[in-house]
A and B are shown apart, each in its own frame.
Chain A
Amino acid sequence: MTSIGTGYDLSASTYSPDGRIFQVEYATKAVENSGTAIGLRVKDGIVLAVERLIHSKLLVPGANRRIQAVDRHIGMATAGLLADGRNVANRAREESSQIRTLWREPPTAVADRLALYAQAYTLYSSVRPFGISTIFGGVDKTGPSLFVVEPSGVCGYHGAAVGKGRQLAKTELEKLKLSELSMREAVIEAARIIYLVHDDNKEKEFELEMSWVGNETGGLHAPVPTDLLAEAEQKAREALETFE
């Protein structure tokens, strides 16, 4: 890597001569080492799914969640440094609460505020950028919305993928007609994609974690019910066999 040893890559407040901020690029490297997270925006809701890598068999299954709730109707999934994800989630809750107190209605555009927050950490040498990419999903009066907040900025999507397997996941997401899917169908597809991008040979075991917001949940962010999750995992495994 050409950046190493030049001295232009030691601080987020330093540009390299060709106009890059290497610290931000390194931060995205932290994201690439983590399990994949995807988000699907479909007809009547949002589905979030993450591949939670199990680093020890002593872990309690189902605990240690990586999808977090921001507000009643907003969820977020992070890829990258888990602790940074919690920091951003706490900030998101504060922002959401502020907006709710001001407008006295379920907040919209929380992701925009979070993008400002994340961006502020790319400006100074006294802090490092967040080592995470975050997928925000929520349903509000404007309908379902899906955003990705990265150290470098924010974008709205129909389908999003971050983390190690994002390339393959994006390819799979592009094959879907997302705007025509129901939430239940999206759950099945999301499970299939996570199973697909998981590399059995290289990686540790994983748990599939999913949540959704939309018509199926009365507009509330909630974990996907266990029976549907089990069905989705079953179908994902079957699909994987035919895929190979």
Chain B
Amino acid sequence: MDHFPTNWGRPRNDMFDAYGTHPIHQRPDNRPKDTFADSVQHTQQPIVTGTSVLAIKYKDGIMMAADNLASYGSLARFKDVQRLHSVGKYTVIGAGGDMSDFQYIQHILEEVQIAEGTHQDGHELGPVEIHEYLSQVMYARRSKMDPLWNSLLIGGFKDGKRFLSYVDLLGTTYSASTLATGFGAYIAQPLLRKAVEGYEDVLTTEQAQNILESCMRVLFYRDARSLDKYQIATITAEGVSITGSLKLQTSWDFAEGIRGYGAQTQ
């Protein structure tokens, strides 16, 4: 019962409004509103973002690189973010896109790992299983029109086999011997292909490192959302190792000769 007489409205008076042109007073609905009454809003854009991740196959396994930057729009907001994350003993995932979504992904993978471990039966999740799982999660979320806004590279080595594959916010997956996400997909991918394709089984650790380093350098020069601090993950028969932060050596001398930007006119 609505106890406020002002809400009751005026009884309809046919003398006054014979044709019903005046709208009948609607009582305000003061019941608590359903949380989703005004429709549901889903993620429409990433907020704090990471840029490219690069990964290649080489002789001993997989090598992956990503810088330490998380941007807030065009602001270089966080410069100490790890975008390479190991999952168990055989797998590394690298993430571009929304960093909070990536943290959520890390959490669900941790849960899955624990569930796997509690069986105590010696079965373990390798890169193949983790990639399949992630692709199911990503596709399920995009089908709810509420994607996890990332593009992910999954690299690993288990049972003598190396594995490298991609999955993104749409649930798209593909595999290749060189993969790159974000801006790197345009800038670094052609360089990686040239350096790696056909040499997957001969490239040494050092060579692979050099390839990734030079690509990260190119990206730092050309990608305004990148950083000269980066990490490299290697996944081999020996397991996973992720380096500490590495610093790119860069030279900006050429910038002096550039004309056409800024204040100088000539």
Contact = CB atoms under 8 A, between A and B. Distances in A.
A and B touching (C-beta < 8 Å)? yes
Interface of A: 65, 68-72, 89, 93, 96-97, 100-101, 104, 223
Contacts, number: 27
Given A72-B117, A100-B110, A101-B111, 12 more contacts: A65-B120, A69-B119, A69-B120, A70-B118, A71-B114, A71-B118, A93-B114, A93-B118, A96-B114, A97-B111, A100-B114, A223-B120
Contacts of A101: 107, 111
Most buried by A among B115, B118, B120: B118
A72 to B, nearest CB: 6
Contact of B118 (A69, A104, A223): A69
Contact of B120 (A68, A71, A97): A68
Q: Is the interface of B mostly helix, strand, loop or mixed?
A: helix
A3 B120 CA distance: 42
B115 A93 contact: yes
5 contacts: A68-B118, A69-B119, A72-B114, A100-B111, A100-B114
Nearest to A89: B118
B117 A69 contact: yes
Interface of B: 107, 110-111, 114-115, 117-120
Contacts of A100: 110-111, 114
Contacts of B110: 100
A219 to B, nearest CB: 14
Nearest to A223: B120
A89 B118 CA distance: 10
Contacts of A70: 118
A68 B118 CA distance: 7
Nearest to A73: B114
Contacts of B117: 69, 72
Contacts of A97: 111, 114-115
A130 B107 CA distance: 32
Nearest to B119: A69
A100 B106 CA distance: 13
A211 to B, nearest CB: 9
A96 B115 CA distance: 11
Contacts of A89: 118
Contacts of A71: 114, 118
A93 B112 CA distance: 11
A100 B110 CA distance: 10
Interchain residue pairs A-B with the least CB separation, the first 7:
A69-B118, A69-B120, A97-B111, A93-B118, A72-B114, A71-B114, A65-B120
Contacts of B111: 97, 100-101
B53 to A, nearest CB: 24
A104 B107 contact: yes
Contacts of B107: 101, 104
A68 B120 CA distance: 8
A69 B118 CA distance: 5
A158 B111 CA distance: 30
A65 B122 CA distance: 13
A148 B118 CA distance: 20
A5 B107 CA distance: 55
Nearest to B118: A69
B36 to A, nearest CB: 22
Contacts of A65: 120
